Amino acid sequence: MIVLNRRPLLGLEWTPRVRTGAWLVAMMLLSATGCAGEPRRPLRLATSPWPGFQSLHLAQSLSYLTRETVRLVELRNNSQSMDAMRAGTVDAATTTLDEALVLRQDGVDLRIVLVFDRSRGADVVMARPTISALSDLRGKRIGVETAAVGAVMLDALLSATNLTLGDVTLVPLPVNAHEDAFAAGKVDAVVTYEPVRTRLLAAGAKVIFDSRQIPDRILDVLVVRTDAVPQHAAALRTVVAAHFKALSYLAREPRDAAARIAPHLGVAPDDVRPQFDGIVMPNLAENYEFLAGAEPGLDAIARDLSELMLRRRLLRQRVEIDPLVDPTFLPTALP
């Protein structure tokens, strides 16, 4: 509320005409700065190079998203996206489900408003050609991102090999450093994902373990800080609708879509489509199954995953699951 001082302003006496003029000026200033709850600042959405998140960049290139509504903050890896969410420098982020649980553990009140994809082979452990069996990893150096998805994959790998953390040497590496470390001989294997997987295959590495062996444990989601929801509800609805429109365009015009996506993945257009082979992207109906109803499907998956992470000390404490999901930003139908 603006209170007008009754003292003379710029030498003017507060006559009824002056008061009326000042009131009109005040209203114009309020209109220029925006009403409460509807800021002009765009939604700040952190994202990183991963095929499942490229619908956002495709949507922006097709003008389904405008920079006045949504600002895509391109970061180098999910760890940076998580840091931005913790610091409150972004309103929303693309993360994995396990990373969303870690953020909640760390005190970030958030909601999941979209499931981008399920990893079915895109998250991998890649090794040098001389490593022919999983048991050959004993005593080897494994590069792994310190984000939760790397820990989940590493835990599954060790369980499959009957190895322990003491049997290998972990080398903490952000995903953007995996290629250089592998080329320099600093690691014998890496826990990584697309688009690094494609480039390491070209460099002679081979896949020895992938996320098909742990179905529905690695899901990619869109999370939003709860305190940002009231101010950015319209932008969130736009983002979610744009995601599905972009998926339709990808299916309808794959070559043009690949050319638009390629720069964000750092690969040639012809190498874009194969990167989607390792993920399954739920449609609108499946997203409703994940997020809506009395018992959202994602809640059950999150509970099982959180218990696993707690047992494996990937979480320090039990995470409250309910409320975790918010289906209100899903469109009722596709355009």
pLDDT in tens, 45-94: 999 988 999 999 999 999 999 999 999 999 988 889 999 999 999 999 99
This prediction's pTM: 0.79
Per-residue model confidence as pLDDT tens digits over 236-258: 999 999 999 999 999 999 999 99
Task: Say what the pLDDT of residue 161 is.
Answer: 87
Secondary structure, 3-state, 66-110: CCCCEEEEECCCHHHHHHHHHHCCCCEEEEEHHHHHHHHHCCCCE
What Å distances lie between residue 314 and 17, 146, 153, 220, 319, CA to CA?
68, 11, 11, 18, 12
Q: What's the CA gap between 94 and 45, in Å, rounded? A: 8
**What are the residues whose beta carbons fall under 8 Å from the beta carbon of 12, sequence distance 6 or more?**
18
d(CA 335, CA 333): 6
User: Which phi and psi (to 5°) does residue 270 adopt?
Assistant: -65, -15
3-class secondary-structure state, position 2: coil
C-alpha 331 chain-centroid distance: 20
Length of the chain: 335
